[in-house]
Chain A
């Protein structure tokens, strides 16, 4: 099922990309070339990080039996799984380029979608490590309020997504 999904998504993405490239080519040849070069350069820049994360995840998943992951983060994991996901997501500072492939692998190994949803939403919306930067712009009070509200917001979003997956 997941295999099928990714397969379909890949085809859809390829079509979207083709349309975007053709539209861009018609609008401006030079700009398109610059854009494609920029994208591929960004890809090369991020590739070492992606590869080493893949390697570490591969080793980790080999050492850790699937059953344990499913027990703690799977469908019937209960609250612990969500708490773990929310804390990890709030603290971690992982760019989306790496977080999404990682999430895809975790879903395949049996981590449930709701747990992944809580992890992804907290990762995107709450930034404990970037709090010092935020405080410089917004002040202590507003930054703390924002992160606290977003933390609970992210958990609510995660649960709502979970509702649709578990039903």
Chain B
């Protein structure tokens, strides 16, 4: 709890300032404040507050069943395309920003994955994470999510093949900082 308070100082400042502003607006019948709260904030809020906990429970379950340790353990078994495919499937259950994927690529590289597969993994990590797709479906709809995933996959693979062609002769390597 303390940690949450500490990390969100600015957020809590915004939230308390807004709460005070809205409260005063309602007491003194200040229409701008009432409008911002009723027509903007509350209409967004009531939709999300049911939605978000469900999505986060899914994320939590994914995290427990497909932990990072599990992913790392399986990296060594097969570093060919099949192996990368497996890692992609496992990492689809992960959450987190792109820079969380870089250390995994170092492990992949150490186990002998090709440049192409390294970048396919990076591409898959940015575009087809299941927890994010649940958010996407929820807020932008099935059609959007399906189209984005379908178009992303071939483009990622083409870019990765192209990158291997460019980088192969340039003594590329993944380093651990």
Contacts and interface: CB of A to CB of B under 8 A. Distances in A.
Interface string A13-53: 11011001100100000011011111111111111111110
Given A9-B142, A21-B61, A160-B147, A51 B163 contact: no
Range of interface residues on A (Cβ < 8 Å)? 35 or more
B40 A35 contact: no
B27 interface: no
Chain B interface size range: 35 or more
B106 to A, nearest CB: 6
13 contacts: A17-B55, A38-B60, A38-B63, A40-B57, A48-B15, A50-B52, A97-B135, A101-B135, A113-B140, A124-B126, A138-B102, A139-B175, A164-B147
B60 A37 contact: yes
A40 B159 contact: no
A161 B11 contact: no
A99 to B, nearest CB: 8
Contacts of B51: 10, 13
A84 interface: no
Interface of B: 4, 7-8, 10-12, 14-15, 18, 32, 35-37, 39-41, 44-45, 47-48, 50-65, 95, 97-99, 102-103, 105-106, 119, 122-123, 126-127, 129, 131-132, 134-144, 147-148, 151-152, 155-156, 159, 162-163, 166-167, 170, 172-177
A88 B55 CA distance: 26
Contacts of B56: 39-40, 42-43, 46
B119 A146 contact: yes
Contacts, number: 228
A22 B138 CA distance: 21
Contacts of A14: 54
Nearest to B125: A124
A57 interface: yes
A15 to B, nearest CB: 10
A43 B61 CA distance: 13
B140 A104 contact: yes
Contacts of A65: none
A127 interface: yes
B144 A113 contact: yes
B76 to A, nearest CB: 19
A42 B58 CA distance: 11
Given A48-B8, A130-B97, A157-B151, A32 B61 contact: yes
Contacts of B105: 137-138
A130 to B, nearest CB: 5
B116 to A, nearest CB: 12
B16 to A, nearest CB: 10
A44 B95 CA distance: 16
B61 A50 contact: no
A66 B151 CA distance: 31
Contacts of A107: 140
A42 B59 contact: yes
Contacts of A59: 36, 40
